[in-house]
Amino acid sequence: MTSAQIEIQAIAVLAAAACALPGVYLVLRRMAMMSDAISHTVLLGIVLGFFLTGDLASPLLVVGAALTGLLTVSLVELANRTRLVREDAAIGLVFPALFSLAVILISLFAGNVHLDVDAVLLGELAYAPFDRMIVFGTDIGPVGLYLMGGMFVINLGFILLFFKELKIATFDAGLAASLGFLPGLIHYALMGIVSLTTVSAFEVTGSILVVAMMVAPPITAYLLTDRLPRLISLSILIGALSALGGYWLAHWLDASIAGSMATMAGVWFGLALLFAPRRGLLAATRRRVRQKWDFAQTMLLIHLLNHEGCEEEVSENDIRHLHEHIRWRPDFASQVVIRAHRRGLIDLDGSRMALAKPGRQLAQQMLADLVRWDDVQWENQNQPAAEPQLTSQE
């Protein structure tokens, strides 16, 4: 590998890790689309900052972009609080308006300035190594490497410093307010971090990759774990793997680096969606199949228990008659009987079934639970309504 290839991959890994950190809390707060909104609307802050300074390298552009991100959040919150529109609809109203205003301003007043909307949105990591940082005449590496590395340190420091506050405010804002943690302030601080991360990645990766890395790795990690520290660590790891895998996919296909990285993030999500141990589709399918057979065996045990010691026990407990009594297909009934026999729940004598001791205990327990549940439901339905209480004023 050349030094330029190493630098591109290092920048991409740092960008993915920096985006994944605040992305975890956006996903947990069900605000994933807010990253998309902010990544577009901060362009308005950059444009306004350029109009004030006339310099694309001015730090005021970053400040303006961050403030525009907070403005986006505020407008979305304001629209949502009216209860006339939901949050997703509010996002869909606010960010196209602000982004369109930025595009109009660029086309009218900055047509001869290198402020390309496509470059801002799509970015081009292949050019990142050409923008060098020179300190006292010494080349110390690409600017993007230090920019994204610094953003990663800021995001990580913010999460470590306010981990408890972020955790409580994310999962229970009411509790956070009662404990004096100011969940509103925490919310806007998080949105400010999202805005800064988006702005820092504009020239390097483009906002499309920022959105992909803020959403896809945390969602993928969410399918794999329920513990917040592990969720954060897995998000960083998956983001880094997406960046590295996407680079070599682009190298192999001679395609867009940012697009390939976003594609790899989607591939990791697809794999987790299928094969996650608890939340994956295959695991869910296995659970449904297992529940289907467990339920059928429970029905068989209750059927045998209900007819145990009765005159019709001989006919009712014959495998060949399950189709008539329980309305099961013969092949399905045979599978249920075989599975119950393997578990030691029933005994077989030719085609005649009998409850084994474990099967009898399980059937009795299930019947007791059903009776108890019916009693609770009957009490809830027949409980008299509480009489209105008179106050002292009345």
Specify the CATH number for the domain of residue 207: 1.10.3470.10
Do 244 and 339 share a structural domain? no
Tokens read off for 347:
């005994």
Q: What is the mean pLDDT of residues 257-281?
A: 91
Residue 383 lies in a domain: no
Domain presence at residue 387? no
pLDDT tens digits, residue range 321-357?
A: 777 777 788 888 889 888 988 989 988 888 788 888 8
Domain for residue 53, yes or no? yes
Q: Residue 394: inside a domain, yes or no? A: no
Q: How far is CA 329 from CA 293, 319, 351, 368, in A?
A: 14, 11, 16, 28
SS3 of residue 204 by DSSP: coil
Domain C-terminal end among 260, 277, 294:
277
Amino acid at 339: R
Same domain? For 273 and 325 the reply is no
pLDDT category of residue 390 using cuts at 50, 70 and 90: very low
Residue 291 lies in domain: 283-377
Beta carbons within 8 Å of 229's beta carbon, 6+ residues apart: none
- 315: CATH: 1.10.10.10
113 lies in a domain? yes
Average pLDDT of span 145-168: 91
**Interval 284-303: pLDDT, tens:** 999 999 999 998 888 888 88
The three-state secondary structure class of 92 is: helix
What is the pTM assigned to this prediction?
0.79
Residue 249 falls inside a structural domain = yes
Residue 208 sits in the same domain as residue 310: no
Same domain, 259 and 130: yes
7 within some domain:
yes
Domain count, the chain: 2
Same domain, 273 and 288: no
Residue that is last in its domain, among 242, 277, 312: 277
Name, in order, each residue with C-beta under 8 angstroms of 19's C-beta and a sequence gap of 6 or more.
Answer: 197, 201, 210, 213, 214, 217, 239
